[in-house]
């Protein structure tokens, strides 16, 4: 299962024999909701939460989140840890029990991100409520972070800052990838995703 991956990578993953469900979060991609219809963080997450709610108890998925999608897969890890085989953060925000989501959201990059595409600036109270993450649920899911070495939006320094404060199980890097790694280095990302899935 993938969140926010390019059609090319979705096709490659399907051709490699895996089922893929590409989910655009509220007000993103081809999601029919407009930005003004996504006033709360939970509205932004709802397509992913609805999908995970539909799974059978024994079904396991691999979650891939990019950029702000890291908030969504973090929330999913807290809510559905039993259904997640691995969560992969592709140059994505990565809060956790030791790194509060409001701290990440308050960083300067948040404003820059919002200027690229119109979206709500969620209030810190909403973020604190929705993004309460625990060691026993969120922390029970295997977590991999993929660093995009040439990301100008979530800089390599910012990515390292999150990794140091909320260490994942593994860190991989695509040194020459920009923020849109699924476009700039699609084959490297595809190869890395398959390697992580099969470890």
The pLDDT assigned to 120 comes to 52
Reply yes or no on whether the pLDDT at 24 is more than 60.
yes
Catalytic choice (6, 66, 179, 186)? 179
Alpha-carbon span 178 to 144, nearest angstrom: 18
Cβ(98)–Cβ(165) under 8 Å?
yes
Reply yes or no on whether the pLDDT at 27 is more than 50.
no
The pLDDT assigned to 111 comes to 45
The pLDDT assigned to 47 comes to 85
- Dihedral pair phi/psi, residue 53, rounded to 5°: -65, -30
Cβ(183)–Cβ(6) under 8 Å?
yes
Please work out, in degrees rounded to the nearest 5, the angle formed at the alpha carbon of residue 144 by the alpha carbons of 143 and 150.
Answer: 145
Model confidence pLDDT, tens digit, residues 90-113 = 999 999 999 998 888 777 555 455
- 18 labelled catalytic: no
Lowest mean pLDDT among 40-44, 94-98, 127-131, 136-140: 40-44
Query: Which CATH class, in words, describes the domain spanning 2-198?
Result: alpha beta
Catalytic choice (28, 46, 151, 186)? 151
Sign for the pseudo-dihedral over CA of 102, 107, 113, 114: positive
The pLDDT assigned to 7 comes to 80
- 67 labelled catalytic: yes
Model confidence pLDDT, tens digit, residues 164-174 = 999 999 999 99
- Locate the domains of the chain by residue range: 2-198
For 20, residues 6+ apart whose C-beta sits below 8 A from its C-beta are: 1, 2, 5, 10, 13, 14
Structure tokens at 123: 């209030």
145 against 104, higher pLDDT: 145
The pLDDT assigned to 34 comes to 57
Catalytic choice (67, 178, 186, 198)? 67
Mean pLDDT, the chain, rounded, equals 85
Beta bridge partners of 89: 65, 145
The pLDDT assigned to 30 comes to 54
The pLDDT assigned to 129 comes to 84
- Dihedral pair phi/psi, residue 55, rounded to 5°: -75, 150
From the list 197, 101, 89, 87, the residue with the least C-alpha distance to 148 is: 89
- 179 labelled catalytic: yes
Reply yes or no on whether the pLDDT at 180 is more than 70.
yes
In the chain, beta strands by DSSP E = 2-3, 22-23, 61-67, 84-92, 142-148, 170-174
């Amino acid at each position: 299962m993938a969140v926010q991956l390019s059609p090319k990578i979705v096709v490659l993953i399907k051709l490699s024999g895996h089922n893929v469900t590409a989910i655009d979060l509220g007000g993103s991609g081809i999601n029919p909701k407009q930005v003004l219809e996504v006033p709360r963080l939970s509205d932004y997450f709802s397509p992913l939460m609805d999908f995970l709610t539909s799974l059978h108890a024994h079904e396991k998925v691999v979650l891939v989140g990019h950029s702000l999608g890291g908030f969504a897969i973090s929330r999913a890890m807290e809510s559905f840890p039993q259904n997640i085989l691995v969560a992969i953060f592709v140059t994505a925000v990565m809060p956790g029990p030791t790194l509060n989501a409001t701290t990440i959201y308050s960083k300067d990059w948040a404003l820059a991100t919002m200027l690229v595409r119109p979206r709500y600036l969620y209030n810190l109270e909403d973020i604190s409520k929705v993004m309460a993450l625990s060691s026993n649920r969120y922390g029970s899911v295997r977590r991999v972070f993929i660093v995009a070495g040439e990301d100008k939006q979530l800089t390599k320094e910012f990515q390292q800052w999150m990794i140091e404060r909320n260490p994942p199980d593994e860190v991989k890097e695509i040194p020459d990838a920009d923020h849109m790694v699924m476009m700039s280095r699609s084959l490297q990302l595809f190869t890395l995703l398959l390697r992580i899935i099969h470890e």
